[in-house]
Structure 1
């Protein structure tokens, strides 16, 4: 963590005294604190008071999927700040009441002094490089090798492997009679943990920048931010990640290894299909949860919900079909349009992409609204999508569903996720029979 100047330290100390006394921060200190905190909130320079909600950083935060999952579905209060490079997505989130910094994540310092009290990080890098809807450059072995090398070097840069991982006492019971532990000497350890490699986070990012698609390199932020915060002494408790279900196992396994090597107690990933949890649109994604301590609740098993069709969610009559690609040539062998350009609304819709803005109902040519697109991925109809129609649909296509966010995070927040998800789902899609009754049999 970058050490503040004496002037900043004094300003923080005075501001903390004022806060503890229930007084506002003296106005003359604000310019000093604002300059030191930028781009983060001034109050994040100050230590939290007893009872304050935990501080959470959301990276690639978008229009608010994780934020809504925490606040609206789970009803958990956190002190969160999201970062995203899309002005429209940031505007949407702000309109919905979520804080956003509009910036390129890779230009930010994960050891910024304002982050020294951060307890959790949520990271959802863009997925086109790994998704079938993209160019699949993230699956090329050359790029996987570069990314995995950068992940390993990120662990070295954090320098957090604990001394007891080499079992000095067990391996060398006569250590007291030696000048130094042979294993520690071999690995270059000092007392407590191995030393940091000396590479900066920007230098590690430069390693990943050798990939052929810049979006692939953004996966590196998943390992950089939690380990950087840990190395800087922040009270980091857990991290959560969402990415395409096509994310290579080599990448997932290397991240898991680095978390365990840096003394994290738990790091696991799973693939979940949104339609299995009552969403009226398909969306298969990989999720990872890692926690620092065994005492942190890590996972909660939430049973699949009954399927919801697109027609049910939008209150359409049965039998409707959706045309996704306009008029297509007819295949003489099948009698159907080439390219598969229609699907039935009597089941979950296809996974939304930005091109869902051109979908139309075959019976009357009706196109989806931005509100309906958001509804299909788990947002309330009144969610304040900002920007053009094209931008709003792209936001819905990229976002993490609030329902899936709640499912993934219910364990780390230690809440009864299944009942809360069922109730939110029932109210969202007006299905009273899915409301969780009192005494609902939860699986945890």
Structure 2
């Protein structure tokens, strides 16, 4: 891949999000599909973790890579998980500021024009070439392609120039949402056989941004987009994590989404093999509220249900009964990874990776349809049953494998 200078790149020391292989595990381990894939992440530890599990990684800032590079001309799918702190309640919520939303949406719109993929039958000639309105001249696109045949010409803006538009936001992590539209459209413009894309982001992502993404894909002749908010605990994960997932496909014949039924609830105690009745302290000893008898700030929860959403600070959680703290492997187990998954880096880094990752179970749920896995739900339930030692999860008569 060719590296190019990028405007105002996020500082990896300033809270870079780490993606250590959740999507890849969902494909390879849960669904059992072997694919020719490579991931890109700015975190060296996350890349090392993914590589230790057998997943190929390039450790780089994605905004420095050329999405139209010749080495990518055979890419058929793109999966993108931009950082979510700017949109998440756990972050500063700068992504919800109207000014930032406006800048991001403007950049998304210009990405479509830069790709030059909009069919001319959708083009308003007067708007595209305002100078011809008064002169009465023939539309240049119509003259070149025939009356509204072919696609509109590319605007001439480079991807770095489009990224520079988004760089005007107050938080550089917000601008990384632009990659969701840049990569699929750039690959399409370069002639790659791109068939679908998938995205994961905080459930707090503004509807304006989601709408503009969908509009841009439709405008560039993609056949279908869908988005859905999913709570991981509803699918048997022993930790909570609500995220929005978007799927876009270029062809109507592409299998797009699969309806996976919710899985039985799994508690934190079940997953970790603890006795019932344990409580988790998340924030140390805090003043007691005399009205409730509990610590102010809500710093404890019961392990007899799904745990709270993991964050990097989950490394300091402790079991109230004896002060026991989670191991890296146990943190990974709570978000759907095998105990044997080899988390790399310091304890702090490993917990941040577990907090940032897309659960392999959720990845499999989202991707089973576009990857054409007919028995996706059976595979997901089987993985879940083995992971949390719930042998009765999948009853023999749950599925008619013949029909």
What's the TM-score once normalised by structure 2's chain length? 0.90
2-side partners of 1:361 and 1:180: how far apart? 75
Alignment equivalent of 1:138, drawn from 92, 95, 103: 95
Higher relative contact order (CA 8 A, sep 6+): 2
Alignment equivalent of 1:249, drawn from 207, 211, 222: 207
Partner of 1:156: 113
Partner of 1:215: 173
Partner of 1:390: 348
The structural deviation recorded for 1:227 is 0.2
Partner of 1:342: 300
Partner of 2:8: none
Please list the CA deviations of residues 163-202 of structure 1 after superposition, one character each: whole Å capped at 9, or x if unmatched. 343599xxxxxxxxx99579958xx997510000000000
Question: For residues 115 and 436 of structure 1, do their structure 2 counterparts lie closer, same or farther at Cα, with a shift above 3 Å needed?
Answer: farther
Partner of 2:11: none
The structural deviation recorded for 1:333 is 2.2
In the alignment, is the contact (CA less than 8 A) between 2:30 and 2:380 conserved in 1? yes
The structural deviation recorded for 1:437 is 2.7
Question: For residues 212 and 351 of structure 1, do their structure 2 counterparts lie closer, same or farther at Cα, with a shift above 3 Å needed?
Answer: same
Question: For residues 203 and 372 of structure 1, do their structure 2 counterparts lie closer, same or farther at Cα, with a shift above 3 Å needed?
Answer: same
Root-mean-square deviation (CA, aligned residues, Å) is 2.3
Aligned residues: 377
SS at match of 2:88: coil
Question: For residues 348 and 419 of structure 1, do their structure 2 counterparts lie closer, same or farther at Cα, with a shift above 3 Å needed?
Answer: same
The structural deviation recorded for 1:226 is 0.1
2:77 equivalent to 1:120: yes
SS at match of 1:435: coil
Matches within 5 A, 1:59-74: 62-74=19-31
Moved over 6 A (4+): none
1-side partners of 2:139 and 2:114: how far apart? 23
1-side partners of 2:398 and 2:284: how far apart? 49
Matches within 5 A, 1:7-406: 62-165=19-122, 184=142, 191-406=149-364
Partner of 1:440: 399
SS at match of 1:79: coil
The structural deviation recorded for 1:335 is 1.8
The structural deviation recorded for 1:62 is 1.7
SS at match of 1:252: helix
2-side partners of 1:70 and 1:166: how far apart? 39
Please list the CA deviations of residues 348-372 of structure 1 after superposition, one character each: whole Å capped at 9, or x if unmatched. 0000000000000000000000000
2-side partners of 1:146 and 1:183: how far apart? 29
2-side partners of 1:319 and 1:341: how far apart? 16
In the alignment, is the contact (CA less than 8 A) between 1:189 and 1:195 conserved in 2? no
2-side partners of 1:142 and 1:284: how far apart? 25
User: Where in structure 1 are there 5+ consecutive unaligned residues?
Assistant: 1-36, 40-59, 169-177
What's the TM-score once normalised by structure 1's chain length? 0.81
1-side partners of 2:77 and 2:51: how far apart? 21
2-side partners of 1:38 and 1:161: how far apart? 27
In the alignment, is the contact (CA less than 8 A) between 2:2 and 2:69 conserved in 1? no
Please list the CA deviations of residues 130-180 of structure 1 after superposition, one character each: whole Å capped at 9, or x if unmatched. 000000000000000000000000000001011343599xxxxxxxxx995
